[in-house]
Amino acid sequence: MNKYNNIANTLNQGCTCQTLDRDQLRQDLERDASLQGMALDISQEQPHLFSDSAVYLSQSSYQRIKSVISAIERVMQLPAFEAAVLQQSPDIAKKSYGPLGVFMGYDFHIDDTHAENPAVQLIEINTNAGGAMLNAALARAHRNCCTPMASAMNSYVDLDQLENTFFAMFMNEWQLQKGNADLRCIAIVDDVPESQYLAPEFELFRQLFASRGIKTIITDPQALTWRDGQLIHHSDVGDTNVDMVYNRITDFDLSEPKHTALHDAYVSGDVVVTPHPRAHALQANKQHLTRLSNGEILKEWGASEADLELLSGCIPTTQNVTPQNADEVWAERKNLFFKPISGFASKAAYRGDKLTKRVWNEILQGSWGSYVAQQLVPAGHRLVNVDGVATNLKFDVRAYTYGGRIQLLAARIYQGQTTNFRTEGGGFSPVVVVPDTVFSGSIRFNTDNKTGLDSFGNACHSSCAISTNPALVNQNL
């Protein structure tokens, strides 16, 4: 194989560059006085939140991701799809108040086992995808490495405008429901927000909204009361009326008693809540994976031939786990990945080859609710430098979207069954979109015949070294 066939694959599996400028990241995260100390707190409390390495994606894979997302959005807007979904959804999801739902997340595996043409496979759809603000800062800190990196990272998005893009999204949500009314107060709501792993992001959003003149509160939902047509936040300094909620809660239908105030405010239509129960029901219920991978059902519902063909090649076959098919599914478990329909953040999700009989019986007994079994798709691989040792890890790619349009791509580098933030060398990583097979114009990465993974010393910030050792590039991953 020519060493430049699929440049992204060559870089991911042969380049151990550490392109993160941590001083630049600190400056970006702490750009406002109210955010001072955030970088130090993250380094101490979430030491594996950010990876020093970037992940590379070919232009054709990027275009494939865009096309898959567009096709899914079209399918989900089919009247027959919506009717079938809402028939099985809780009542709270059946009325639309206008907003689309901020920060949809489409998660992909880039199967690089066919190195010259890696396959793009959708593995998950989420409302309430976390990490966008953190990844915006992270991407800017990685591009500081060198001019070629900066040019490549800005190839699909203007990183310097992302905060404006995100704010415009929230304002559009507001206007879809409330028109030209004044937005005075936003509450960022999650259960015990200060304990959440991505809590630093709440502060970034607070600063984003406050810098544009909107009072912003970060709160637990139990500090909210719905009274006389107002959602009221209670604190030691007094009560505040809330106009809009940035909802980070994972109780997707707001059915838990502690979320009653938020539930009542949402169904009243007087408070904008985003993302909301309807968005989750229509787009992010894992049951949809069984529908989107079933061409016969989609065709019956009116999906186009072009969308059917695209989705059939990019969405792994997914089936419900039932008592009726339990024996068959168990026999095939090594080729499957198991997910709870109501799950999130990879909780109670299992690779079939790691599944014990005890856990399998608990799945069948409904200990964590209903499950789906998805055809196992290998994750992509990224070779990273961990304390001077070349270490092979996995990665997935998340597309943050709004209204079906990609706002930002980010990767998560990890080791283990599922994504996590416990891996040395892992964490959030920026996605760099590069040409498929050749670098164009003057944008070139260093390829000065660096064959040793610990061979550094280039002039660029990261001491970039792309290995041209065929044994390394083609190693059995």
In Å, how far are 7, 54, 398 from 117, measured between CA atoms?
Answer: 11, 20, 19
- Tell me the C-alpha distance between 329 and 374, whole Å: 10
Tell whether 117 is covered by a domain.
yes
- Contacts by residues 303-312 (CB-CB < 8 Å, ≥ 24 positions apart): 303/74, 303/75, 303/78, 304/74, 306/71, 307/71, 307/74, 307/75, 310/67, 310/68, 310/71, 311/68, 311/71, 311/72, 311/75
pLDDT confidence tier of residue 458, bands split at 50, 70 and 90: very low
Tell whether 79 is covered by a domain.
yes
- Tell me the C-alpha distance between 21 and 281, whole Å: 40
Any bridge partners for residue 274, and if so which? 246
pLDDT confidence tier of residue 155, bands split at 50, 70 and 90: confident
pLDDT confidence tier of residue 115, bands split at 50, 70 and 90: low
User: Does residue 344 register a pLDDT over 70?
Assistant: no
Query: What pLDDT does 167 receive?
Result: 98
pLDDT confidence tier of residue 3, bands split at 50, 70 and 90: very low
Query: What pLDDT does 5 receive?
Result: 60
User: Does residue 21 register a pLDDT over 70?
Assistant: yes
User: Does residue 449 register a pLDDT over 80?
Assistant: no
In Å, how far are 25, 53, 261 from 20, measured between CA atoms?
Answer: 8, 7, 42
Query: What pLDDT does 117 receive?
Result: 66
> To 10 degrees, the CA torsion angle through 94, 95, 99, 103?
-20
Tell whether 219 is covered by a domain.
yes
**Contact, 311 vs 299, CB < 8 A?**
no
Q: Which of 106-110, 136-140, 152-156, 328-332 has the lowest mean pLDDT?
A: 152-156
Tell whether 367 is covered by a domain.
no
Tell whether 92 is covered by a domain.
yes
pLDDT confidence tier of residue 7, bands split at 50, 70 and 90: confident
- Give the rounded percent of residues in the chain with a pLDDT score beyond 70: 88
Tell whether 307 is covered by a domain.
no
Element (H, E) at 41: helix 38-45
- Tell me the C-alpha distance between 339 and 351, whole Å: 9
Tell whether 374 is covered by a domain.
no
User: Does residue 38 register a pLDDT over 50?
Assistant: yes
Mean pLDDT of the residues in the chain? 88
User: Which letter, b or e, does each residue of 335-349 get, where b requires 16 or more Cβ atoms within 10 Å of its Cβ?
Assistant: ebbbbbbbbbeeebb
- Higher per-residue confidence, 336 vs 348: 336
Strand order in the sheet with 318-320: 318-320, 371-375, 336-340, 350-351
Tell whether 2 is covered by a domain.
no
What's the average model confidence in pLDDT over 131-135? 98
pLDDT confidence tier of residue 170, bands split at 50, 70 and 90: very high
Number of helical H runs and strand E runs in the chain = 17, 18
**Please, how many CA atoms are within 13 Å of residue 200, restricted to the half-sphere of its CB?**
26
Compute the Cα dihedral for 457, 463, 468, 474 and give only its sign.
Answer: positive
Q: Which of 127-136, 341-350, 465-474 has the lowest mean pLDDT?
A: 465-474
Q: Which of 83-97, 109-123, 332-346, 457-471 has the lowest mean pLDDT?
A: 457-471
pLDDT confidence tier of residue 368, bands split at 50, 70 and 90: low
* Most confident segment among 83-97, 101-115, 359-373: 83-97
What's the average model confidence in pLDDT over 354-363? 90
Instruction: Kindly give, in sequence order, each residue whose CB lies less than 8 Å from that of residue 432, ignoring residues fewer than 6 positions away.
Output: 54, 55, 56, 57, 142, 149, 152, 153, 155
**Contact, 349 vs 417, CB < 8 A?**
yes
Query: What pLDDT does 460 receive?
Result: 45
Tokens standing for 326?
Answer: 């339990």
Query: What pLDDT does 445 receive?
Result: 43
Instruction: Report the number of distinct structural domains present in the chain.
Output: 1
Q: Which domain holds residue 406?
A: 7-286+379-473
- Higher per-residue confidence, 369 vs 34: 34
Q: Which of 24-33, 70-79, 332-341 has the lowest mean pLDDT?
A: 332-341
User: Does residue 26 register a pLDDT over 70?
Assistant: yes
Residue 408: what residue type? L
* Other Cβ atoms within 10 Å of 183 Cβ, number: 19
